[in-house]
């Protein structure tokens, strides 16, 4: 197969933990040809969407890990699969890219995850479709309603709807210290919608990443445990990643959501679960492949390539 990965610049990869790199290694090991391009390489030429695409080969070296040919303008339907792996922020440029990729689908391109599905599943707000699994939650820009929610629940988390890696997350305790500042900063004085949730104490045991591939549950999760007094378990915020078998509750959530999300066009999803509660549905570039594989021996990238090949 010819597989084109839509990625951030390759020089930004940290290959010791990058899940896209794990996918590439697995794909190359199976004899597939690898190509890359970024959102900025997409264009519509008056007839169809194309991209400036570069073929790459993997060297097996730690530092100079790839060789890249000069980009060539290609129609995306020339590839057996186009795998979207660009990190957030999910800004307007990301949305424009989903428009482009969705248009390419009309000319026969096979894009995973489907761009329309990515666009329809804000990674924070998507949990509102599964209210049986979520903690008390408020989504609003109304500053008074946020204050009322805090008064009711005492210990709360405030977060932007478009962040990643734990950026912009505030915990406000019962004393309400800095509540006003946090609300003003995150809502831009009532002009931006944010999410507020009751604090889940089990975060001290880890924010669990549960992976779904083609609606099927990966049997191990990665508990991202906050360090040094942090409230955020995200690896990007310094959390410690510990792989472990998924719990009964995590399996219950994952098995309920898996077939629904796959039917919507989401081949790969990362669910975030804290304690008994679903907190995020990650659809842009879910990670944790390498950490789970290194600690458990379960080949997550192999499972992903199995399902990608099956989808072809």
Q: Which of 85, 209, 250, 291 is catalytic?
A: 209
Query: Could you confirm whether 280 is annotated as catalytic?
Result: yes
Q: Which of 50, 198, 208, 232 does the annotation list as catalytic?
A: 232
224 is catalytic: yes
Beta bridge partners of 196: 138, 158
Instruction: Write down the catalytic residue from 122, 123, 224, 291.
Output: 224
How far apart (Å, rounded) are the C-alpha atoms in residues 305 and 297? 16
How many beta carbons lie within 10 A of that of residue 108, not counting itself?
A: 11
Between CA 61 and CA 133 the distance in angstroms is 44
Count the neighbouring beta carbons within 10 Å of the beta carbon of residue 94. Answer: 19
Catalytic residue from among 105, 207, 250, 272: 272
In the chain the beta strands, taken as DSSP E runs, fall at 2-6, 33-37, 42-44, 49-58, 66-68, 72-75, 81-84, 111-112, 137-140, 156-160, 170-172, 194-198, 207-213, 216-217, 220-225, 240-245, 268-274, 277-282
Write the DSSP symbol of residue 266.
Answer: -
Active site residue 8: no
Let me know if 306 is a catalytic residue: no
Residue 292 and residue 243: Cα distance in Å, rounded? Answer: 5
Catalytic-residue membership of 11: no
Active site residue 50: no
Contact call for residues 277 and 271 (beta carbons, < 8 A): no
The angle formed by the CA atoms of residues 243, 84 and 277, to the nearest 5 degrees, is 40
How far apart are alpha carbons 44 and 35 in whole angstroms?
A: 19
Contact 282, 268 (CB under 8 A): no
Distances (CA, A) of 107 to 110, 120, 308, 311: 9, 21, 20, 18
Catalytic residue flag (residue 113): no
User: In this structure, are residues 163 and 169 in contact, taking their beta carbons and an 8 Å threshold?
Assistant: yes
> With b meaning 16 or more CB within 10 Å and e meaning fewer, what string describes 25-62?
bbbbeeebebbbbbbebbeeeeebbbbebbbbebeeee
Annotation says 17 is catalytic:
no
Catalogue the active-site residues: 124, 159, 209, 224, 232, 272, 280, 282
């Amino acid at each position: 197969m010819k597989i084109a990965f839509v990625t951030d610049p390759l020089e930004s990869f940290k290959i010791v933990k990058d899940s896209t790199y794990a996918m590439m290694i697995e794909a190359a090991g199976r004899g597939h040809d690898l190509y890359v391009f970024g959102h900025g390489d997409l264009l519509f030429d008056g007839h169809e969407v194309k991209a400036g695409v570069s073929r790459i080969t993997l060297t097996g070296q730690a530092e100079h890990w790839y060789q890249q040919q000069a980009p060539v303008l290609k129609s995306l339907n020339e590839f057996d699969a186009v795998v979207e792996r660009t990190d957030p922020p999910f800004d307007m440029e990301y949305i424009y890219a989903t428009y482009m990729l969705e248009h390419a689908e009309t000319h026969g391109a096979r894009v995973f995850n489907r761009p329309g599905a990515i666009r329809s599943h804000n990674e924070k707000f998507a949990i509102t479709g599964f209210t049986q699994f979520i903690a008390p939650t408020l989504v609003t820009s109304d500053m008074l309603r946020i204050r009322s929610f805090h008064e009711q629940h005492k210990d709360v988390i405030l977060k932007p709807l478009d962040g990643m890696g734990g950026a912009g997350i505030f915990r406000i305790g019962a004393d309400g210290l800095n509540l006003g500042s946090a609300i003003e900063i995150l809502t831009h004085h009532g002009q931006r919608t944010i999410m507020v949730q009751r604090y889940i104490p089990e975060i001290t045991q880890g924010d669990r990443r549960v992976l779904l591939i083609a609606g099927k549950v990966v049997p191990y999760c990665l508990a991202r445990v906050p360090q040094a007094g942090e409230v955020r378990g995200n690896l990007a915020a310094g959390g410690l990643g510990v792989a472990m078998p998924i719990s009964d509750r995590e399996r219950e959530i994952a098995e309920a959501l898996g077939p629904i999300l796959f039917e919507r066009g989401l081949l790969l999803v990362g669910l975030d679960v804290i304690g008994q509660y679903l907190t995020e549905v990650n659809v842009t570039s879910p990670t944790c492949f390498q950490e789970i594989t290194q600690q458990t021996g379960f080949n997550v990238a192999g499972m992903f390539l199995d399902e990608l090949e099956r989808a072809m």
